[in-house]
Structure formats: structure tokens, C-alpha cells
Chains A and B, each alone.
Chain A
Amino acid sequence: GNSVTQMEGPVTLSEEAFLTINCTYTATGYPSLFWYVQYPGEGLQLLLKATKADDKGSNKGFEATYRKETTSFHLEKGSVQVSDSAVYFCALSDRSSASKIIFGSGTRLSIRP
């Protein structure tokens, strides 16, 4: 069945550091891929998405590229800020499974000033 595996946390970085959170997936079809973010005390929000191979999703300085050959969707940001501290979830959705979202277990990111 479909699944998502992402880097375990917590991840602690200093402000302005480079961020990578690894994510790989297993899917039988051609899924859409997502990164969701959960800020402290808030609900899940879509951060970015990519719907086909080689697409790059981007938002708020974050980027992720849909790599079909390596079944990966790694999240990157060139210079993190304290306000980026949150839990990040990699996820996929596949039309063959009624578009329900399959989430990874989440990566907690903390940024030190």
C-alpha cells in the first residue's frame, strides 16, 4: 500500500542555517505530494505541493521537487527563521485511494535565535 517515510526529529538549527528534511514515498499509482506544517497551537496548513514528476513546489522560501526516480520529495530552505519552528509533515494523495492523504510521522523543527 501507499506510505510515506520522513526524517525523524527533532531537528534543531540556528537561525539562517540551511534546512533539509528528507521524505521518501511508496505508491502504486501517480500520487500528488504535499508538505503540511503545524505551527504551535495552530491547525495543519498546506505548505506546498507538487502533482507530477519533476514539479517543484515552493512557498515562504521552502521548496521541494517531486523526484519519481528516487521516490523522494525532500523539503529545503536556504535560510531558516525562528518563525519556521513547527512540525512538518510529508504526505501523498492518490486518486486510486479516494484522495485520502497518507501522512508521514512528522518532523519537529526548532530554530535557535
Chain B
Amino acid sequence: GAGVSQTPSNKVTEKGKYVELRCDPISGHTALYWYRQSLGQGPEFLIYFQGTGAADDSGLPNDRFFAVRPEGSVSTLKIQRTERGDSAVYLCASSETSVSYNEQFFGPGTRLTVL
């Protein structure tokens, strides 16, 4: 079956612009996670959805970052007034439930470059 998909695969934008990154999880997975991976580092947690609601957004770095999952499937990560420090690979993952031992399946990521 299809895995987690993310679009676009690459996004180049200018400082100050608004961007949206999309994640399409595996069908039927209720838990969805966003992570950010900077060069040479491990992924860092941003936000977690259980169904339509954001159950934990403690990893969002500031109020320029926002994410939605209105129908409990596709999710969009939105970044306002982008800064050069936002440049990273944004990863989405989904799992059947939020139980800690469940495998999270990762998408290929969106590489964001802010000039």
C-alpha cells in the first residue's frame, strides 16, 4: 500500500514569505506527527495530532508555526514570515494509534530553503 507522502519535495522561498507543507498519511492511521530535521541532526518533534485535534504542540518553535488536520487525514504545516533559520527538512510520520511502541512511518520529507 501507499506510504506517507509529502508535498512539495522541495520548497525554496524568500525571507518573510508564507509557506504551506502538506502531509498525506497512511490510510486509517489516526496519529500524525510533524518533525524538523536540520543538517547533521536528528529529527526534532514539532506537533502531534490524534484525529483532528492537536494533542501536543509543545515542539512548535514559536507562533509563526501552525498546523491543521481538519478531517483527520491530510495535514498542513503552515509557516508565516519565514526566516533563514527555518531552513530544514520537515518530516511527517503517521501511526495506527498513539501508543508509544507503535511504529511511526515516515514520509520522504519536504526540504525547505529560505533565502
Contact = CB atoms under 8 A, between A and B. Distances in A.
A60 interface: no
Given A31-B100, A46-B103, A93-B101, A99 B31 contact: yes
A93 B35 CA distance: 14
Nearest to A43: B108
Nearest to A89: B42
A102 interface: yes
A49 interface: yes
Nearest to A50: B101
B41 A105 contact: yes
A98 B48 contact: yes
B37 to A, nearest CB: 8
B106 A106 contact: no
B62 interface: no
Interface residues of B, number: 28
A99 B48 contact: yes
Interface in A29-82: 31-32, 36, 42-46, 49, 51
Indicate the size class of the contact surface on chain A: 20 to 34
Contacts of B59: 100
A23 to B, nearest CB: 11
A1 B16 CA distance: 33
Given A51-B101, A97-B56, A106-B41, 8 more contacts: A46-B104, A49-B103, A93-B100, A93-B101, A100-B59, A101-B33, A101-B43, A104-B42
Interface of B: 31, 33, 35, 40-45, 48, 55-56, 59, 91, 93, 95, 98-109
15 contacts: A44-B93, A46-B103, A46-B104, A49-B101, A95-B99, A98-B48, A99-B31, A99-B48, A100-B56, A100-B59, A101-B45, A101-B93, A102-B45, A105-B40, A105-B41
